[in-house]
Amino acid sequence: MKLAVVAITVVAAISSATLSAKPLVIAHRGASGYLPEHTLAGYERAIDMGADYIEPDLVITKDGKLIARHDHYLGTTTDVADRAEFADRKKSLEGRADWFSEDFTLAEIKTLRARQAFPGRTREFDGKYAIPTFEEVIDLVKRKQQQSGRTIGIYPETKDPGYFESLGFDFAKLLLDALERADLNRPGAAVYIQSFEPEILEKLNRLTALPLIMLVTPVSKDRPATPNIPLDRIVEFADGIGATKTLLIDATGHSSGVVEAAHRRGLLVHGWTFRSDAYPRQLFSSPEDEIKRYLEIGIDGFFTDFPDVGVKTRDELFPDP
């Protein structure tokens, strides 16, 4: 069984002791509400807004390099569709016609530019930012730590690890090697590793002391308060759950009981995703009102596209002494 910290308001003693003992504000794909997701500019903006952690989703290139993209298909978040030199790379995979990271070398990926993926958000920064490697994200965090004097955490997600394993890539090794080179694969480092696939977390549990987070959703529409992976299984290999918001409260805005059940088992609970431009208006009067409700039921941290809103709201409920 993984060692975890049972906490309602005290968060992640297994992380760096220099981080605030408050619910964590995790910058979802960077400051993705303001800038194209998974760009160094977006991560830096999130850090400057006060986020405790930044979240790089990771996929793998043809030559085995980790890059920050939410999906291994590239059409929605880059300008690849406009690049004539890559027109012949488009293919159909699992019913999707697109361009895929595993068909591009890192050098080719570096010629692409990021785009805003969400409708309704500003497109003024499209085409301005390159696609970063995981190492570049780590380097940015270290530089910002030196400048600010505060600890900034990294919360990588392994995207489609089983698929990449089928192509011959050892996702766990690539990730841990990158962290090892940065002196971050050690107890006390401000790093969480997350995944939707339990198999890679079970593997990582044997290889690292870093805290692991199992991403969970409702098992079905008929059982909205039941995680798709049982909590009693999760405690065997992980330190917490990253839960979609609808799993944590019911249709009336009250706790579903999942937070309490997870805490009884020693699991942390990080909720996702809080968006100021997309929240359930039938339940909450504002994005801040939504965040406050989840903090009140005891989540240990939350992912948000708008880190400034998250930090301000969290700090109102949990002011510094």
Query: Which of 115-127 are b and which e, b meaning 16 or more Cβ less than 10 Å from the residue's Cβ?
Result: bbbbeebeeebee
Q: How many CB atoms lie within 10 A of CB 18?
A: 11
**Which is nearest to 97 in space by CA: 81, 117, 112, 83?**
81
Distance CA(66)–CA(73), nearest Å, equals 14
Q: N- to C-terminal Cα distance for the chain?
A: 35
Instruction: Identify whether 28 is a catalytic site residue.
Output: yes
As given in the structure block, the two tokens for residue 149 are: 């004097």
User: What sign does the CA torsion over 57, 60, 61, 64 have?
Assistant: positive
- Bridge partners of 268, per DSSP, are 240
* Residue found under tokens 């361009």: 99
Say how far apart CA 319 and CA 312 lie, in whole Å. Answer: 10
∠ CA 154-158-159, rounded to 5°: 130
Catalytic choice (28, 38, 72, 263): 28
34 vs 121: CA distance, rounded Å? 7
The answer to whether the CB of 240 falls within 8 A of the CB of 211 is yes
> Cβ–Cβ contacts within 10 Å for residue 157, how many?
21
Q: Which two tokens stand for residue 319?
A: 């002011």
To the query of whether residue 72 is one of the catalytic residues in this protein, the response is: no
Contacts of 94 (CB under 8 A, 6+ apart): none
Residue at 276: amino acid letter: S
Cα 81 to chain centroid, rounded: 26
Q: Which of 38, 70, 263, 270 is catalytic?
A: 70
Q: Which residues are catalytic?
A: 28, 70
